[in-house]
């Protein structure tokens, strides 16, 4: 075979591969263009979602390794706040260009709350962002934020794989992927520096491995490294195992009941998760818990002062608090939009209401109209239970382990977003409805661009 013969064959293989994976490739392109554009358009003004804490950690991570309990903000972030401001709070008592740093005017009297985070996520911010800064001349802050776009690309690759393996059509997978990219959650998480960028990809990875392992297409031992890595990137990532564990538990119980009811071992029961499968599953969950406990014990040992930050937001944990958290669990994470509380018009909040309807209709609708079957039933019920229970369980865990509680934002339940999208894929079977969903995602993107321009001009 000559070189001239090989060229058409190689081109044909590439074309076939691209046609096979066109949904994933399209989502990657949309994520890169939209995420990059929003990141640049909203300028260097800092997000109110703790980005001051995250940027301070990012400045320090190469020099001191990690941020310690009882440590004060560094001068780099103080100067940055003075010049770039924080949305919508302004310069927080700092003067741009001044050699004087007013640490007491910064949050918590100048003490950072970054000690609760391991440095691993911030390594990725510098590893990705520093070369972008050096090659493009973008500001350090914008370059570091571009790491969130890279995380977003990895996330949509996992989500597209999860959706297609779960049986969603190509068009439904595309629509749901674009809806996720256009969501307020991604806007505030992946276009700023935020430790939340790791939650959805780990949630998608755990659910994907659990579903594929149950079908015998993937080893459940892949859950073990995920059990170690997830909480290392963000301690509260322990919650991403909730839906996966529920799915396997419901599936196991359902198949056991089927065998008992029928009195025979049919084909579907034969492929039920075996006891051998539960060893890596339980080991992964145990390792995730161990990592979290070890880090929580290590933080006070590495403290540099006796100061323990009181952010002044603690409240008693009541039954009404738990009910409110449960009610926000399905749609709250993907629609989390702090700007709705700052905007002069309710329009920015109202435009995201259909996204709330879509999430709730997916989960509640699936419970109501999709008959139980071995493939979809465990996923639907695990998603419904997990999304309602995740935030209350986290609140109870916080209260038991620390003796304190502060109102949890809905984004803390973002680990259930992949499961909600999977169930949405079960429901989006009508081409017209799917196209309407895709069109709505386009509207959300336009809103995201307008919001970015508005914040870039205003702040």
Radius of gyration of the chain (CA): 23
Higher pLDDT among residues 215 and 226, named by residue? 226
User: Facing residues of 111 across strands?
Assistant: 72
With 60 as the cut, is the pLDDT of residue 4 above it?
A: no
Residue 113 forms part of a structural domain: no
List Cβ neighbours of 74 (8 Å cut-off, separation of 6 or more).
56, 59, 60
How far is residue 407's CA from residue 87's CA, in Å, rounded to a whole number? 21
Q: Percent of the chain at pLDDT above 90?
A: 69
Residue 244 forms part of a structural domain: yes
- With DSSP H G I counted as helix, E B as strand and the rest as coil, what are the percentages for the chain, rounded to 5? 75, 0, 25
User: Facing residues of 90 across strands?
Assistant: 86
Mean pLDDT, all residues of the chain: 90
Query: pLDDT band at 269, cuts 50/70/90?
Result: very low
Query: pLDDT band at 274, cuts 50/70/90?
Result: low
What mean pLDDT comes out for the span 14-37? 93
Query: pLDDT band at 272, cuts 50/70/90?
Result: very low
Which residue in the block uniquely carries the two structure tokens 């659990």?
A: 210
Say what the pLDDT of residue 113 is.
92
Measured in degrees and rounded to the nearest 5, phi and psi for residue 111 equal: -100, 130
Residue 200 forms part of a structural domain: yes
Residue 157 forms part of a structural domain: yes
What mean pLDDT comes out for the span 7-26? 83
Neighbours of 142 (CB within 10 A): 19
Residue 358 forms part of a structural domain: yes
pLDDT in tens, 306-352: 888 876 678 888 899 999 999 999 999 999 888 766 666 777 778 89
Output the pTM of the full model: 0.94
How far is residue 296's CA from residue 234's CA, in Å, rounded to a whole number? 12
How far is residue 126's CA from residue 141's CA, in Å, rounded to a whole number? 10
CA distances from 18 to 13, 21, 27, 29, 386 (A): 9, 5, 13, 13, 35
CA atoms within 13 A on the CB side of 98: 11
Residue 432 forms part of a structural domain: yes
pLDDT in tens, 134-156: 999 999 999 999 999 999 999 99
- Our count of domains for the chain comes to 1
CA 21 to chain centre: 23
How far is residue 104's CA from residue 113's CA, in Å, rounded to a whole number? 14
Cβ(211)–Cβ(165) under 8 Å?
yes
Cβ(386)–Cβ(244) under 8 Å?
no
Neighbours of 156 (CB within 10 A): 27
Cβ(143)–Cβ(162) under 8 Å?
no
Query: pLDDT band at 6, cuts 50/70/90?
Result: low
pLDDT in tens, 400-445: 877 788 888 999 999 999 999 999 999 999 999 999 999 999 999 9
Q: Note down the domain range covering 356.
A: 150-458
Residue 190 forms part of a structural domain: yes
DSSP state of 274: P
pLDDT in tens, 45-90: 999 989 999 999 999 999 999 999 999 999 999 999 999 999 988 8
Residue 15 forms part of a structural domain: no
């Amino acid at each position: 075979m000559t070189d001239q013969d090989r060229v058409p064959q190689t081109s044909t293989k590439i074309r076939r591969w691209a046609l096979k994976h066109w949904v994933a490739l399209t989502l990657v392109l949309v994520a890169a263009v939209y995420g990059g554009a929003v990141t640049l358009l909203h300028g260097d003004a800092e997000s109110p979602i703790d980005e001051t804490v995250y940027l301070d950690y990012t400045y320090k991570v190469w020099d001191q390794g990690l941020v310690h309990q009882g440590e004060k903000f560094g001068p780099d972030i103080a100067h940055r706040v003075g010049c770039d401001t924080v949305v919508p709070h302004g310069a927080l008592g700092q003067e741009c260009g001044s050699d004087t740093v007013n640490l007491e005017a910064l949050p918590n009297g100048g003490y950072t709350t970054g000690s609760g985070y391991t440095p691993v996520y911030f390594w990725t911010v510098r590893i990705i962002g520093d070369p972008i800064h050096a090659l493009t001349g973008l500001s350090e802050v914008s370059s570091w934020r571009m790491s969130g776009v890279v995380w977003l690309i990895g996330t949509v690759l996992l989500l597209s794989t999860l959706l297609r393996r779960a049986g969603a059509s190509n068009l439904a997978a595309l629509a749901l992927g674009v809806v996720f990219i256009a969501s307020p959650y991604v806007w505030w998480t992946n276009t700023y520096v935020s430790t939340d960028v790791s939650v959805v990809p780990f949630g998608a990875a755990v659910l994907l491995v659990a579903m594929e392992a149950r079908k015998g297409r993937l080893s459940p031992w892949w859950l073990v490294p995920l059990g170690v890595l997830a909480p290392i990137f963000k301690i509260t990532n322990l919650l991403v195992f909730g839906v996966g564990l529920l799915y396997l538990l419901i599936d196991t119980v359902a198949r056991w009941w089927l065998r008992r009811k029928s009195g025979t071992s049919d084909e579907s029961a034969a492929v039920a998760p075996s006891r051998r499968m539960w060893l890596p599953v339980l080991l992964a969950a145990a390792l995730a818990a161990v990592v979290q406990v070890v880090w929580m014990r290590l933080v006070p040992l590495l403290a540099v002062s006796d100061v323990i930050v009181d952010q002044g937001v603690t409240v008693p944990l009541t039954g009404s608090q738990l009910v409110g958290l449960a009610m926000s669990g399905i749609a709250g994470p993907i629609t989390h939009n702090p700007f709705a509380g700052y905007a002069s018009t309710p329009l920015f909040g109202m435009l995201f209401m259909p996204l709330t309807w879509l999430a709730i209709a997916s989960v509640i609708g699936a419970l109501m109209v999709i008959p139980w079957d071995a493939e979809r039933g465990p996923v639907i019920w695990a998603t419904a239970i997990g999304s309602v229970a995740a935030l209350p369980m986290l609140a109870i865990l916080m209260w038991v382990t620390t003796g304190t509680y502060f109102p949890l934002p809905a984004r803390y339940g973002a680990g259930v977003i992949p499961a909600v999208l999977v169930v949405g894929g079960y429901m989006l079977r009508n081409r017209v409805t799917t196209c309407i969903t895709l069109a709505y995602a386009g509207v959300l993107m336009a809103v995201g661009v307008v919001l970015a321009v508005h914040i870039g001009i205003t702040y």
